[in-house]
Structure 1
Amino acid sequence: MASGVLADEIRNKLGDLSPAERKVARVLLAGYPSAGFETVAVVAERAGVSAPTVIRFVNRLGYRGFPDFQTALRRELDERNASPLSLYEATDYGREGDEGTDSSSLIERGSRVFGDAVARTLAELPPHDLHHAVRLLSDRKRRITLGGGRFTHLLAQYLGLHLMQLRDDVRFLPDRDVERTALLADLARRDVLVVFDYRRYEEDKVAMAQLAKERGGKVMLFTDSWLSPVSAHAEVVMPSHVTAPSPYDSLVPTLAVIETVVAGVITALGDDAHSRMRHGEETATRIGLY
């Protein structure tokens, strides 16, 4: 499955397209994103349609013409590959004379940016995926394995630590190669692999997701709005906006999604969650943690 904002736009339009336009859509999705940078003539030939049909297709997506569509595709790829350094340099963060450096302005800006990102993320969260995520994570017959990336391993740990208080069979991907290999080699049908993967996506996450799927397990993905390539193998995809008042992608909206999922798992587990939490509290008190 092609991953990306434009790919989603194309898939969402499939039901509204003519049979000829649908052929164009399938050619672009099958070779996404590289097919979108071919000429109109090449796309038309591959789809077995006329050049005007290709133009009508991109018009239906809201673009003035094929160059306009390619510009949007190029912008998407730039955004997918953006790094904190490239965002810093492109937007002049922190330069002398930059507005909003005093405390009150920073608070106002943070409130606006984070509030909007969280609101948009939750408003656009697919209800089916949220329901499926809760169902998988609350199924006590399943074993849950969580892993993240350079920064997002913190999110994997945050979700995992909550799940450990609610149910058993929850674990994290080990850092050491031998332990990680042993765990992945043991994946089976009862496993749910929860992956956190955000732009500048990590290749090992795709390989692990593919492995889990081949073994009959389920893959759950938390990612950004551009969608990690892991989405091609995921049963559940939970996208978040990552807009921040700094060059770094924000993890705040994803945190809101995680806490929404945790609330759903607590409700789904009911008395079992309550018993597990009480037993955990009693154990922690007995060994002097609380």
Structure 2
Amino acid sequence: MPDNALTIADRIQNQLDQLTRAERQLAHSILENYPASGLGSLSVLAKDADVSAPTVARMVQKLGFKGYPDFQTALREELKAKGKTPMARHDTWAEGAPSGHVLNRFTEAVIDNIRHSLAQIEPAEFDAACALLGDTDRRLHIVGGRITHTMAEYLFLHMQVIRQDVSYIQSTTNTWPHYLLDVKAEDVFVIFDVRRYESNTLKLAEMAREKGAKIILFTDQWRSPVHAYADICFSTRIVVPSAWDSAATTLLLIETVIAAVQDINWDSTLDRMERLEDMFDQTKLFRKFT
């Protein structure tokens, strides 16, 4: 993956182990309010992170930039990419579309997204997220938005079979505050939010966090503002040669989560599956050919 395909957040995560203590302090400060944190002057960024100006200059070079102006230019380009409408994204791809059939071009982009996204996920963090989702002492709330509700519903449908106490919330309706009435500190929220990020989803995350709930966020490579409230954040790449972003990588991650969580309490999950199948048989919901 060429460096120019990486976001600055990607570069920081890749370099964390090689940074000095002061540089790591700066890195975490940048990520806390990314990407807005790097749009001010070098001196302001240094002050906000409580590090020296030379520390900022050194780390920017470690990230692969000639200097702070180049660093800021890259940030501004990321902001422009965040705000692109579907029409603008289509124009970008149409101008630079390589030769070859769209089946090949689209598939190559998705495979590249998958490889890059999985390389950024720490196995320990993935396991921690699955442990939270599989903890039946915690109520689980799954939140989707205008587009992401499809992924949220997909996860909800499977989690509802795997365990009890699961609710689905669509932040684009006016009923989501009702779901927060009985939220407790041990509850878990899974929130989906990709560009263009939704104000309702951000407010829901803020209010859930105030109640002490744990938040697992599925977002894109630029990261939703919800990441400021998230305990665990999974960033997947979504850009493909289309006016629309791709959900393929996120869906792969969701299905991997489902596979992992079902094994955490397999005996109780198996019992729920068997009882559900018995209900299907009684209602004759599905055709049988034997």
- The TM-score, its normalising length taken from structure 2, stands at 0.84
Gaps of 5+ in 1: none
Structure 2 counterpart of 1:243, one-letter code: V
Closer/same/farther in 2, CA of residues 272 and 20 from structure 1, 3 Å limit = closer
Task: State the match for 1:134 in structure 2.
Answer: 130
Task: State the match for 2:280 in structure 1.
Answer: 284
- After TM superposition, the structure 1 = structure 2 runs for residues 222-261 of structure 1, keeping only pairs within 5 Å, are 222-261=218-257
Separation in 1, partners of 2:95, 2:62: 37
Structure 2 counterpart of 1:88, one-letter code: H
Task: State the match for 1:68 in structure 2.
Answer: 70
What are the superposed Cα offsets for residues 26-69 of structure 1, whole Å, 9 maximum, x if unpaired?
76556654442333455566677765554333212221111111
Are the counterparts in 1 of residues 26 and 49 from structure 2 also a CA contact under 8 Å?
Answer: yes
Q: Say which SS state the counterpart of residue 85 (structure 1) adopts.
A: helix
Closer/same/farther in 2, CA of residues 21 and 160 from structure 1, 3 Å limit = closer
Tell me how far 1:130 sits from its aligned partner.
1.3
Structure 2 counterpart of 1:213, one-letter code: R
Closer/same/farther in 2, CA of residues 108 and 193 from structure 1, 3 Å limit = same
Are the counterparts in 2 of residues 93 and 247 from structure 1 also a CA contact under 8 Å?
Answer: no
Gaps of 5+ in 2: 1-5
Task: State the match for 2:61 in structure 1.
Answer: 59
Closer/same/farther in 2, CA of residues 229 and 246 from structure 1, 3 Å limit = same
- After TM superposition, the structure 1 = structure 2 runs for residues 93-132 of structure 1, keeping only pairs within 5 Å, are 99-100=99-100, 105-132=101-128
The farther-off stretch of 13-22 and 60-69 is: 13-22
The percent of aligned pairs where both chains have the same amino acid is: 39
The farther-off stretch of 14-23 and 77-86 is: 14-23
Separation in 2, partners of 1:62, 1:84: 30
Structure 1 counterpart of 2:41, one-letter code: T
What are the superposed Cα offsets for residues 92-115 of structure 1, whole Å, 9 maximum, x if unpaired?
3699xx844xxxx12222321222
Closer/same/farther in 2, CA of residues 36 and 207 from structure 1, 3 Å limit = same
Structure 2 counterpart of 1:90, one-letter code: T
Count of paired positions: 280
Tell me how far 1:201 sits from its aligned partner.
0.8
Separation in 2, partners of 1:74, 1:207: 25
What are the superposed Cα offsets for residues 225-255 of structure 1, whole Å, 9 maximum, x if unpaired?
1111111111221221112231211001111
Separation in 1, partners of 2:48, 2:132: 40
Q: Say which SS state the counterpart of residue 242 (structure 2) adopts.
A: coil
- After TM superposition, the structure 1 = structure 2 runs for residues 35-46 of structure 1, keeping only pairs within 5 Å, are 35-40=37-42, 42-43=44-45
Are the counterparts in 2 of residues 195 and 220 from structure 1 also a CA contact under 8 Å?
Answer: yes
Task: State the match for 1:148 in structure 2.
Answer: 144
Tell me how far 1:25 sits from its aligned partner.
5.0
Q: Say which SS state the counterpart of residue 216 (structure 1) adopts.
A: coil
